[in-house]
């Protein structure tokens, strides 16, 4: 699945991140389609991302990406208000995306979902019954209270997960969700691009990542893998992960991502444990982009 936050708003760790212009985005979406990519991850909160995907759909009426999108800020005054506001948001998403239904709808805020999980579930089922969405789930962070979600009937959970951060393995979350049949999609596999960086200068606001990046480069050197490749190898080697969401802002970046995905090597459980041991005591700021 390709992440589209980069299509619609300044995003990422660069000081002045660019958004692809219309021609660049059209070329990228054409290329994604032609190389067989069918899933896009987006959100109503990603600036103009949904609208820009919708424009591409409008000009390619015989092609349609499968869409995972996210909503938040619904009206929770009563069950009726919640259903009405969920419908309004989903219909607005469909209109922007130029589609008639959403393939996967996620609660963008796990806190919002957790404020009343039972009602939120009922609402999702209503949207399914009305043919507005196919599947549903929650976008969350490792610090959320995830275990109560296991008894829900959600189809998927999206979580940040990467080679420097084994918390979801160590606390049993991945195994528990996998056993309960809820699909786990990992996002921020490249830590917003940090894991592909060669250096960070001491005066950069991310200078606290210098030591972790150096350690990571040593791991890659030992395994004779380039940094991006190793990050993807690791996440795709975790048996409980059903899929990954990779963000890219250009055709060049996607071509390299594609090469890495096609060259994935599965790591043994011993390698995975050795890597986890290397990073278990990592500075928490490194694996928490909201603190950058």
Ligand X SMILES: NC(=O)c1ccc[n+]([C@@H]2O[C@H](COP(=O)([O-])OP(=O)(O)OC[C@H]3O[C@@H](n4cnc5c(N)ncnc54)[C@H](OP(=O)(O)O)[C@@H]3O)[C@@H](O)[C@H]2O)c1
What DSSP string describes 117-153? HHHHHHHHHHHHHTTSEEEEEEE--TTS--GGGGGS-
Q: Contacting ligand X (CB under 6 A), which of 105, 187, 225, 230?
A: 187
Site size for ligand X (CB under 6 A): 29
Q: Judged by CB, which is closer to ligand X: 111, or 170?
A: 111
Question: What is the rounded CA–CA span in Å between residue 275 and residue 231?
Answer: 11
Q: Select from 24, 240, 256, 288 the one that contacts ligand X (CB under 6 A).
A: 256
Q: Does residue 229 bind ligand X (CB under 6 A)?
A: no
Q: Is 183 in the site for ligand X (CB under 6 A)?
A: no
Q: For the CB of residue 246, give the shortest distance to ligand X in the complex, in Å.
A: 4
- Give yes or no for residue 193 binding ligand X (CB under 6 A): yes
Strand pairing partners for 41? Answer: 3, 68
225 binds ligand X (CB under 6 A): no
| 4 vs 55, beta carbon nearer ligand X | 4
CA 229 vs CA 51, 169, 196, 249, 263: distances in Å: 31, 21, 9, 18, 8
What are phi and psi for residue 170, nearest 5 degrees? -60, -35
Question: What is the closest distance, in whole angstroms, from the C-beta atom of residue 28 to ligand X in the complex?
Answer: 12
With a CB cutoff of 8 Å and minimum separation 6, the contacts of 184 are 156, 157, 158, 159, 161, 174, 177, 178, 240, 241, 242
Say whether residue 17 binds ligand X (CB under 6 A): yes
Q: What angle do CA 234, 136, 125 make, to 5 degrees?
A: 155
**Residue 267 C-beta: closest distance to ligand X, Å:** 18
- CB-nearer residue toward ligand X: 84 or 196: 196
Q: Which is nearer to ligand X, 14 or 280 (CB)?
A: 14
Residue 2 makes CB contacts below 8 A (sequence gap 6+) with 32, 37, 39, 40, 41, 245, 246, 247, 248, 254
228 binds ligand X (CB under 6 A): yes
The whole-angstrom separation of Cα 191 and Cα 26 is 26
Q: Which of 25, 28, 41, 168 binds ligand X (CB under 6 A)?
A: 41
User: C-beta of 274: minimal distance to ligand X in Å?
Assistant: 22
In the complex with ligand X, which residue's Cβ is closer, 84 or 208?
208
Terminal C-alpha separation, the chain: 25
Q: By CB under 6 A, is residue 247 in contact with ligand X?
A: yes
Name residues contacting ligand X, limited to 137-166 (CB under 6 A): 139, 158
Please report, as ranges, the residues that interact with ligand X according to CB under 6 A.
3-6, 12-14, 17, 41, 70, 139, 158, 187-193, 196, 228, 245-249, 253, 256-257
């Amino acid at each position: 699945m390709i992440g589209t936050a980069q299509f619609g708003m300044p995003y990422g760790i660069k000081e002045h991140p660019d958004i692809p212009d219309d021609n660049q985005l059209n070329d990228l979406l054409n290329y994604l389609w032609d190389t067989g990519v069918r899933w896009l991850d987006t959100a109503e909160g990603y600036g103009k991302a949904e609208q820009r995907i919708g424009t591409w759909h409008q000009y390619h009426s015989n092609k349609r990406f499968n869409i995972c999108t996210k909503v938040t800020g619904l009206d929770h005054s009563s069950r009726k208000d919640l259903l009405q506001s969920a419908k309004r948001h989903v219909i607005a998403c469909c209109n922007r995306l130029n589609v008639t239904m959403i393939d996967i709808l996620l609660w963008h805020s796990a806190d919002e979902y957790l404020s009343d999980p039972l009602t939120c579930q009922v609402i999702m089922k209503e949207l399914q019954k009305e043919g507005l969405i196919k599947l549903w789930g929650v976008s969350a962070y490792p610090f959320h209270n995830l275990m109560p979600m296991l008894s829900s009937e959600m189809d998927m959970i999206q979580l940040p997960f990467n080679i420097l951060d084994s918390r979801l393995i160590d606390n049993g979350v991945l195994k528990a969700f996998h056993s309960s049949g809820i699909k786990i999609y990992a996002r921020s596999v490249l830590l917003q691009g940090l894991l592909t960086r060669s250096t960070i200068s001491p005066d950069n606001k991310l200078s606290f990542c210098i030591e972790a990046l150096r350690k990571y480069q040593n791991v890659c050197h030992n395994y004779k893998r380039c940094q991006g490749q190793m990050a993807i190898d690791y996440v795709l080697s975790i048996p409980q992960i059903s899929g990954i969401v990779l963000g890219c802002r250009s055709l060049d970046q996607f071509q390299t991502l594609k090469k890495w995905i096609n060259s994935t090597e599965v790591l043994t459980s011993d390698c995975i444990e050795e890597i986890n041991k290397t990073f278990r005591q990592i500075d928490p700021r490194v694996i928490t982009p909201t603190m950058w």
